Every structure is written in C-alpha cells, then in structure tokens.
Amino acid sequence: MEPVYLTFILMLSIFVGFELITKVPATLHTPLMSGANAISGVTVVGAISLAGTGQQDLANWLGAAAVALASINVVGGYMVTDRMLAMFKKKGA
C-alpha cells in the first residue's frame, strides 16, 4: 500500500507544480529557478534522519556530508533569491 500512497502524492504534487509555475512571468524566471533550487535542498530533511540515527559509521558520514551539501543549497539558494528579488522594482518606487 505504501508505494501506491507515495505515488499518489507524487502525481498530485506534479500537477500542482505545473499549475503554479506556468503562471510565473519571464521576468522572474531566474529567481524562480534559484528559489526552486533552494526547495530541492529539502533533501536535507532526509539527510538529517540518516545522520543522527547513531547506527553505522558509514551512514553517519554519508548523512553528515549530505546535510552539508544540502544546506549549501538551502541557505545559499534562499539568500541569493532574496537578494535578486529585492532588486525588482516598479517604476517610481
């Protein structure tokens, strides 16, 4: 049952994603991309659960490395997106 349930979630998320992103104007495509990139750093959640279980050494190491790489993505991605978006201004604003 579990695989079916997860696939169901996957399918719905893809539809939501398509709906949302087709509405983003060309002006915002670069921030969209770096923002989406930051979201893909959500792997950090998976990495956390593996790094802290206190089981084998190898899993710990891999988990810690994954946490580090994914945090670069998350922290860097959100910060740089914010920096870009702060520059977009309306005329006269």
Partner 1 sequence: MSGLAIQMAYVVAAALFIFGLKLLGSPASARRGNLLSAVGMLLAVVAALLDQGIVEYQWILLGFAVGGVIGAAAARLVQMTSMPEMVALFNGFGGMASLLVGAAALGTSTATFTLVTIVLSILIGGLTFTGSLVAWGKLSEKIGSGAIMFSGQKIVNSLIVLAILASAVMFCLQPENLNWLFLLIALSLLFGVMAVIPIGGADMPVVISLLNSYSGLAACAAGFAVNNNILIVAGALVGAAGIILTQIMCKAMNRSLSNVLFSGFGSVKTTATVIEGEIKPISSDDAFYVLEAATNVAIIPGYGMAVAQAQHAVKELCELLENNGAEVNFGIHPVAGRMPGHMNVLLAEADVPYDQLLEMDDINPRMENVDVAIVIGANDVVNPAAREVESSPIYGMPVIDVASARTVFVLKRSMASGFAGIENPLFYKDNTRMLFGDAKETINALIREFS
Task: Give the footprint of partner 1 on residues 37-66 (CB under 8 A).
Answer: 37-54, 56, 58-66
Establish if 1 lies at the interface with partner 1 (CB under 8 A): no
Query: In angstroms, what is the minimal distance from the CB of 56 to partner 1?
Result: 7
Task: Give the footprint of partner 1 on residues 20-39 (CB under 8 A).
Answer: 20-39
Query: In angstroms, what is the minimal distance from the CB of 31 to partner 1?
Result: 6
DSSP one-letter code for 28: G
Number of residues that bind partner 1 (CB under 8 A): 82
Q: How many CB atoms lie within 10 A of CB 1?
A: 5
Closest CA to 84 of 31, 15, 14: 31
Query: In angstroms, what is the minimal distance from the CB of 78 to partner 1?
Result: 4
DSSP one-letter code for 89: -
Alpha carbon distance 43, 73 (integer Å) = 10
